[in-house]
Amino acid sequence: MRDIGLSWSEKYRPSRLGEVIGQQAIIEKLKAFVLAKNFPSMIFAGPAGVGKTTSALAMARELYGEKMNEALLELNASDSRGIDVVRGRVKEFARTLPLSGDLIKIIFLDEADALTPEAQHALRRTMEKYSSTTRFILSANYSNKLIEPIQSRCIVLRFKHLNEEEMGLYVKKIADSEGLKLDSKALEALIYVSEGDLRMLTNVLQSAAVSSDTISERDIYDIAARARPKEISAMLRYALSGDFEKANNELNALLLSYGMSGEDVLVQCYREAMNLSVDEALKLRLISEIGEYNFRIVEGANERIQLEAMIAKLALLKR
């Protein structure tokens, strides 16, 4: 049995900007900043697992080399989201003189959108006061949660989900290094369950590799607790054809076999709804119903009752 050991997300994290997967337009801008040895404060906005933190650390490593730890302060704002962290560690680091010559220091705040409004206003003032010696890189899944004064002091670089080709190249790199065997179906499953999140892809792949060097499609879906697309599609087709009993049997199989939550089932239903070969008006109604029942579950309604109510509603559409 393979020992998990070091997280592969860390083991295969690029150390230089040229090694970062995807985001080429952004990487070219960061390379230009490194070459000029000067850059503005920045907001890295985008979904999880697409290279925001990696890009910031790779940029700092190229700028400072072995002195990186002296010139970079990395904090996760979701751990310390109050005003004290800004008035304490952030302000103290910003006010000290850089130890690495005349290079500008970097304060990297990961998940900066988790900061409270009070902390963000204190951060705005710190950014303004120490702009001559310190630059800020704020990583955020939702840049609109940052206050306008902070957004106006930064340039916003928007990271996108990685495409299938980029993720496939990354999987091949790991598979070659670790001696793993994946067939095309397993690779498709890995890309499907990760939804463009490279960190999730790496963690699922590492978990699947613990028991065997040969990884199958089934291994991926079991580890990720996701259903195969064809199983979700089958449930929806039965429901839309008016066959509630068969649709409910498929739902029971999904909940029992994969241990999926109600919200997970609805998210996959939404993804597969777009691929169904049904009338356009019916597809629009289906998407509308998925949104309605997702809202009910998020608000606290019983998951099982709502999922069965949804497929019953879809079956009634046929009748």
Which tokens go with 187?
């690779």
pLDDT tens for 283-308 read: 999 999 999 999 999 999 999 999 99
Per-chain mean pLDDT for the chain: 87
Buried-exposed string 256-294: b where 16+ CB fall within 10 A, e elsewhere: eebebebebbbbbbeebbeeeeeeeeebebbeebbeebb
Please report the domains of the chain, with CATH numbers, ordered by start residue: 23-158 (3.40.50.300), 164-224 (1.10.8.60), 229-318 (1.20.272.10)
* Digit-coded pLDDT (tens) for 116-145: 888 888 888 888 888 888 899 999 998 889
Kindly report the pTM of this predicted structure: 0.81
State what percent of residues in the chain have pLDDT above 70.
93
Give the CA distances from residue 125 to residues 111, 130, 144, 172, 188, in Å, rounded to whole numbers and listed in that order: 19, 9, 19, 46, 48
| Amino acid in position 295 | F
* Element of type H or E holding 75: strand 72-76
Residue 4, pLDDT > 60, answer: no
Answer yes or no: is pLDDT of 5 > 80: no
CA-CA distance, 62 to 16, in Å (whole number)? 7
Mean pLDDT of 275-282: 87
**Alpha-helix residue ranges (DSSP H) falling in the chain:** 8-11, 24-36, 52-64, 68-71, 83-85, 91-95, 117-129, 148-152, 164-178, 184-194, 198-209, 217-224, 229-240, 244-258, 262-273, 280-298, 303-318
CA end-to-end span of the chain: 53
Q: What are phi and psi of 30, to 5 degrees?
A: -65, -35
pLDDT over 90 (residue 313): yes
Q: Which residues contact 143 (CB under 8 A, 6 or more apart)?
A: 43, 45, 113, 151, 156, 158
Q: Does 211 score more than 70 pLDDT? A: yes
Please, what is the Cα angle at 270 between 216 and 195, to 5 degrees? Answer: 45
C-alpha 238/C-alpha 254 separation (Å) is 14
DSSP 89: I
- Here the tokens at position 273 are 């709804």
